[in-house]
Structure 1
Amino acid sequence: MTHDKQFDLYKRVLARSRPYWRTFALGIAAMVLYAATETALPALLKVMLDGSFVDKDPRVIHLTPVAIVVLFLVRGASDFVHTTALNKVATGVVLDLRRALFDKLLQLPTSYYDNEPSARVMSKLSHNAQQISPIITSALITIVKDSLTVMGLLGYMLYLNWRLSLLFFTVLPVIALVIRSVSRRLRRLSGAQQTSMGNMNHVIKEVIGGHREIKIFGGEAYESRRFSDVAGGLRRYAMKVAATSAANGPIVQGIAVLALAAIIYYAALQSQSNALTVGGFVSFFGAMALLLAPLKRLSNVNEPLQRGLAAASSVFEVLDAPSEPDDGTRELEHVDGRLQFVDVGFRYPSTERDALSSVDLDIRPGETVALVGASGSGKSTLVSLIPRFYPPTTGTILLDGVDTRELKLANLRTHLALVTQHVVLFNDTVAANIAYGGHGDVDEADIIRAAEAAHAMDFIRALPQGLRTQIGENGARLSGGQRQRISIARALLKDAPILLLDEATSALDTESERAVQAAIDNLKRGRTTIIIAHRLSTIVNADRIVVLDQGRIAEAGTHQTLLQQGGIYARLHRLQFSNVE
């Protein structure tokens, strides 16, 4: 990252504090006041020494203690105000960024989640966003307050004795060169450290999600080694950051101390010729001593600053990612449910062959169409194009004669209900998971009706708190069949005119499958239904069965017609039922 890009990134972070500009301005004003009191200290020291001990001025003797008390009261108050104010701004900015990130995650296309590990995305939302806070708190306080302090003290030193000050100024270019070199290394290390954090979170997430497979296949030692590798890598980067940051301060201070020693020697020579008073010498030396602490903080500010900028870069990378395309302008209040695929083709990015090619399919309102074929034949891809999870590479998909790209995404998806074999439930109550399929407030009676239709109420009543039972992460406290039936109840409650079913009965036992199949049969009446079928026994009564092979429609017809043709469907049917026998 170049210096200009780094500066632009910092400006972009600070621009996020615009809603809190009053608090931000108060913090900056308090920092300016604090820096002024820092310069006032050596000036007050000169007045006290020359006026009290040399000139014996009684007015100075009486007023100096009062001035010291007032000065430190002002310092304490300004320190409290700027620290509190800027922390309030920083926490507000982090909260706003997290909200913006979360809202962006809801808008990102499905292809983004295909390519980006979820743990890395989570790390950006939880860890990286928090790392931006020091840019507005500790780093900004150091940059503004300590820079003003250094300028004020240097100005005062010039005022006292410009010759001695020029000696000190000779070391500033050397210090600047050291700080620049260290900042480059810290920026590089901070980016690598955050990438390692994302990799570690990814391993943790996989272990938590696959704990059953790890146990049954004896993968504990392998996963332990894998975690140890990524955690060790994170520690190595952390140590490199710590070592670089720790070396920065002593180097800068060492250079400053060499200059300090030369200045003390030259000042002693000047005092012998009465060119410098005792108060002036002590005040100059005090100003120089006060310079060391802010110079050290300025030299060390690179660590939190570069870490924060690296985090900000990763956060804005998500915020700047293109959202799901939603260029549609039309809305359909009611649809009959006719779907037409006209010469539709699709290819996933970074693949060499089309997932779908020249698909022409006309599905009539209320028709039930089953999609069958071997794995990788394009069934799921075809269904994913309907709600525009992916845009077709070629061709057009029409809903009631309207190109789906002309419809607003929210409106298009209002007319669709989806049930997949990989059930997704939320860590909430049974009622809340079913009500997820409704619009706005849903009556409990509607939830119960949907659950009854999905043949789920029997087991729901047996739960400890019925509909109010917490089901755990992704329904962990329920069986596979129970989770599937809640998912079906959710789709039933939405009451959409088009149903997309991806082997919706795959997780059910035989008895439950029959009950749910009956509920789905009732639900299908008057609705367009597309079923991805792996078990051919579930779609023998479909109005039409479409066989996909390598992304193309190979066969289409009823169950009996396709069996008589003796083609791909007949072969799949024969293989499946010979296995059953």
Structure 2
Amino acid sequence: MQNQMGAETPKEMKREQFKFRDFISLINRTKPRYWQLYLGLALGMVSTGAQLVVPKFTKDLINGFAHHFNVQLMIMVIVLFIVSAVISAISGSVLGIFGEHVVAGLRRSLWDKLVRLPVSYFDEVKTGEITSRLVNDSSQIKDLLAVSFPRMVTSILQLVGALVIMLFMDWHMTIVMFVAVPLVMVVMLPIMRATGKIGRQRQDKLAKFNGTTESTLSEIRLVKSSNGEKYETKTGFGEIQDLYKIGLKEAIYDSISGPVMTMVMMAMFVGILSYGALRVINGEITMGTLLSLLMYLFQITGPVVSLGQFFSDLSKTNGSTMRVRELLSQPEEALDLGHDIDTEGKDLAMNDVSFAYSDDAQVLHHVNFEAKPNTVTAFAGPSGGGKSTIFSLIERYYTPAKGQVTIGGQDISGVNLTDWRSQIGLVSQDSAIMSGTVRHNLTYGLEGEYSDEELWNVLQMAYAEDFVREMPQQLDTEVGERGVKVSGGQRQRIAIARAFLRDPKILMLDEATASLDSESEAMIQKALTKLMKDRTTLIIAHRLSTIVDANQIYFIENGTVTGHGNHQELLDSHPVYKEYVENQFKL
């Protein structure tokens, strides 16, 4: 069972073991600078080596107190402390740089993937969940690689090194210590496992919460106009409560692990110290040896905790790795595959096309139509009939389940997608406006530089020049998030100006004048008449004035073409079209 992301649930991830090969494969996509990792690890090992030598020198220093104070040895110990700290800081910096390079590369791979995924993917997945993959999961992967893994390596070195040195100093005390330390792990392991499980649950809940807040806040005007505050408050509070419950568990486990660790460590330390003191009294070891062994004990407890934390991080990163790999494995649009084609002078057609957004919701049924070059083809019919879906299939947002969309008799699925879309101009009812300036929105997606004169010219053709000139910075005025600083009619005219600038060979108008008042609509109709000249034009409209002069009108009902012809032919031959005209256009 998979969630919307296609990612495994926390229960499934618990059963899934960490796959080192998958993790390394994912990291290799970022072209990491492994020399930085190796250098950081090497410096960390040098620092660890210096730390291991300090207790040995300390033993000699303390044992020499009975005879004289060894100043040189004291200075050497201090120097080793300082050198170890400096090298450790340099190691941490190098590893930090390595980690940031990896996470930047991983986010570039994710972003590159996201902008190339088909529209169908975004129909199923919330934007907030996707950004969680981009931000939270990539950070978790970076932390394992640049922090937890190097710490684990140096911890193993410190454990092994301390064990060897301690065995040479006194094997009795060493055995006691290395029996006591695993006992600490036995106590802490269940808590660490529970913490790892809660961490995975928290990540999933955060991703869901991000998705909810993203979708709600992006449509805040709909929330306000629909009096949806209470509903959204209840929904948000529910998810916050879920996060709160997980946070409580996490806080409880964190609060338990600290005191339990302290208690067990103190018990272990008191027991070992008592045993060591007894051996000193019996003359079996010196006081310097005992203190040196205790210093090694302190050195190995940190690595033991780090190793436990590493396995907890490994568990969390396993979930992040699977989710990121799942996203990266999604099939993307092949933007640059296929052959180029010049659509000018070629028939655009659908041949027996059927399509469904999901298995249980067929939208189009055996649709056939033909749009001749330099003509206007209109689609009319009740809302929800599938007219906009036809446009989506022409844009290749989706692939027909059956049948073909052709240009000049060739299936458009074999045409280079970038080249295909560059020859299409789409103006929809809810024309999208990007955050940025008017200039940015006019030239969005186009290559090359455009002079102010060219931009003013297309704005004039779209009857948008006057209101843009009245803006504070004119072409460089910010339109706000999703164009909130301009009216719906102004957004439409900017979109139409953008279509003029693209100079498309196939023009698709989906309720292009729906947001305009009657005066603006009259002006835009004149502009669109110019724009439609010598182009293959497809129109979706409810207004009779928009489609009455079309060369061909296809009437769509419940995803099926039930009739076609010009306006008069349909009035004479299609009773439902006639009724539709009378009802919708008040004739």
* TM norm structure 2: 0.91
- Of 455, 473, 480, the match for 2:481: 473
Question: Corresponding residue for 2:10?
Answer: none
| Corresponding letter in the other structure for 1:222 | Y
Question: Corresponding residue for 1:531?
Answer: 539
Identity within the alignment, %: 30
1:494 aligns with 2:487: no
Question: Corresponding residue for 1:341?
Answer: 350
**Aligned-pair CA distance for 1:113:** 0.4
- Of 384, 407, 410, the match for 2:415: 407
Whether the aligned pair in 1 keeps the contact of 2:365 and 2:559 (CA below 8 Å) is yes
Q: Counterparts of 2:473 and 2:263 in 1: how far apart (Å)?
A: 69
| Corresponding letter in the other structure for 2:533 | R
- Equivalenced residues, count: 574
- Of 277, 294, 300, the match for 2:286: 277
Q: Counterparts of 2:260 and 2:45 in 1: how far apart (Å)?
A: 28
Whether the aligned pair in 1 keeps the contact of 2:355 and 2:363 (CA below 8 Å) is yes
Whether the aligned pair in 1 keeps the contact of 2:348 and 2:372 (CA below 8 Å) is yes
| Corresponding letter in the other structure for 1:278 | M
1:420 aligns with 2:420: no
- Of 216, 226, 231, the match for 1:222: 231
TM alignment of 1:73-152, pairs within 5 A:
73-152=82-161
**Aligned-pair CA distance for 1:9:** 4.9
Q: Counterparts of 2:30 and 2:342 in 1: how far apart (Å)?
A: 41
**Aligned-pair CA distance for 1:63:** 2.1
Question: Corresponding residue for 2:48?
Answer: 35
Whether the aligned pair in 2 keeps the contact of 1:328 and 1:407 (CA below 8 Å) is yes
Q: Counterparts of 2:114 and 2:303 in 1: how far apart (Å)?
A: 41
Q: Counterparts of 2:257 and 2:25 in 1: how far apart (Å)?
A: 27
SS at structure 2 position matched to 1:132: helix
Question: Corresponding residue for 1:155?
Answer: 164
Q: Deviations over 1:360-384 (max 9, x none)?
A: 2222111211111222211111111
Question: Corresponding residue for 1:49?
Answer: 62
Structure 1, 511-520 or 182-191: larger mean CA deviation: 182-191
1:355 aligns with 2:363: yes
**Aligned-pair CA distance for 1:156:** 1.9
| Corresponding letter in the other structure for 2:322 | S
Q: Counterparts of 1:264 and 1:17 in 2: how far apart (Å)?
A: 50
| Corresponding letter in the other structure for 1:490 | R
**Aligned-pair CA distance for 1:178:** 5.1
Question: Corresponding residue for 1:71?
Answer: 80
SS at structure 1 position matched to 2:507: strand
Whether the aligned pair in 2 keeps the contact of 1:249 and 1:299 (CA below 8 Å) is no
Q: Counterparts of 2:573 and 2:557 in 1: how far apart (Å)?
A: 16
**Aligned-pair CA distance for 1:354:** 2.2
Question: Corresponding residue for 2:6?
Answer: none
Question: Corresponding residue for 2:447?
Answer: 439
SS at structure 2 position matched to 1:417: strand
| Corresponding letter in the other structure for 2:162 | L
Q: Deviations over 1:199-244 (max 9, x none)?
A: 3223333442333333344333332232222223223223323333
1:387 aligns with 2:391: no
Q: Counterparts of 1:304 and 1:353 in 2: how far apart (Å)?
A: 43
Q: Deviations over 1:69-95 (max 9, x none)?
A: 320221121121111111111222222
Whether the aligned pair in 1 keeps the contact of 2:189 and 2:308 (CA below 8 Å) is no
Q: Go from structure 1 to structure 2 and tell me whether the alpha carbon gap of 1:185 and 1:440 turns closer, same or farther (over 3 Å shift).
A: farther
| Corresponding letter in the other structure for 1:68 | V
Question: Corresponding residue for 1:23?
Answer: 36
Q: Mind listing any 5+ residue stretches in structure 2 that lack a counterpart? A: 1-12
Q: Counterparts of 1:208 and 1:424 in 2: how far apart (Å)?
A: 17
| Corresponding letter in the other structure for 2:511 | E
**Aligned-pair CA distance for 1:326:** 5.5
Question: Corresponding residue for 1:295?
Answer: 304
| Corresponding letter in the other structure for 2:94 | A
Question: Corresponding residue for 1:331?
Answer: 340
**Aligned-pair CA distance for 1:317:** 2.5
**Aligned-pair CA distance for 1:172:** 4.7
TM alignment of 1:450-461, pairs within 5 A:
450-461=458-469
1:505 aligns with 2:517: no
Question: Corresponding residue for 1:11?
Answer: 24
Question: Corresponding residue for 2:3?
Answer: none
**Aligned-pair CA distance for 1:4:** 3.9
- Of 370, 375, 380, the match for 1:372: 380
Q: Counterparts of 2:425 and 2:160 in 1: how far apart (Å)?
A: 66
- Of 240, 243, 253, the match for 2:249: 240
Whether the aligned pair in 2 keeps the contact of 1:17 and 1:93 (CA below 8 Å) is yes
| Corresponding letter in the other structure for 1:145 | T
Whether the aligned pair in 2 keeps the contact of 1:171 and 1:256 (CA below 8 Å) is no
Q: Deviations over 1:180-204 (max 9, x none)?
A: 5445433332232122222322333
Q: Go from structure 1 to structure 2 and tell me whether the alpha carbon gap of 1:302 and 1:170 turns closer, same or farther (over 3 Å shift).
A: same
Q: Counterparts of 2:19 and 2:256 in 1: how far apart (Å)?
A: 23
Whether the aligned pair in 2 keeps the contact of 1:248 and 1:300 (CA below 8 Å) is no
SS at structure 1 position matched to 2:362: coil
Q: Counterparts of 2:305 and 2:259 in 1: how far apart (Å)?
A: 8
| Corresponding letter in the other structure for 1:352 | D
| Corresponding letter in the other structure for 2:338 | T
Question: Corresponding residue for 1:199?
Answer: 208
Whether the aligned pair in 2 keeps the contact of 1:249 and 1:300 (CA below 8 Å) is no
TM alignment of 1:564-575, pairs within 5 A:
564-575=572-583
Q: Counterparts of 1:147 and 1:486 in 2: how far apart (Å)?
A: 63
Q: Counterparts of 1:16 and 1:103 in 2: how far apart (Å)?
A: 12
SS at structure 2 position matched to 1:390: coil
| Corresponding letter in the other structure for 2:452 | E
Whether the aligned pair in 1 keeps the contact of 2:376 and 2:550 (CA below 8 Å) is yes
Q: Counterparts of 1:334 and 1:549 in 2: how far apart (Å)?
A: 29
Q: Counterparts of 1:318 and 1:261 in 2: how far apart (Å)?
A: 52
**Aligned-pair CA distance for 1:311:** 3.4
**Aligned-pair CA distance for 1:385:** 0.9
Q: Go from structure 1 to structure 2 and tell me whether the alpha carbon gap of 1:238 and 1:264 turns closer, same or farther (over 3 Å shift).
A: same
- Of 550, 554, 573, the match for 2:558: 550
SS at structure 2 position matched to 1:5: coil
Q: Deviations over 1:233-270 (max 9, x none)?
A: 22322332333344335445544444444433333333
SS at structure 2 position matched to 1:19: coil
**Aligned-pair CA distance for 1:168:** 2.5
**Aligned-pair CA distance for 1:129:** 2.7
Whether the aligned pair in 1 keeps the contact of 2:462 and 2:494 (CA below 8 Å) is yes
Q: Go from structure 1 to structure 2 and tell me whether the alpha carbon gap of 1:458 and 1:338 turns closer, same or farther (over 3 Å shift).
A: same
Question: Corresponding residue for 1:314?
Answer: 323
Q: Counterparts of 2:263 and 2:29 in 1: how far apart (Å)?
A: 38
Whether the aligned pair in 1 keeps the contact of 2:380 and 2:555 (CA below 8 Å) is yes
| Corresponding letter in the other structure for 2:143 | P
* TM norm structure 1: 0.92
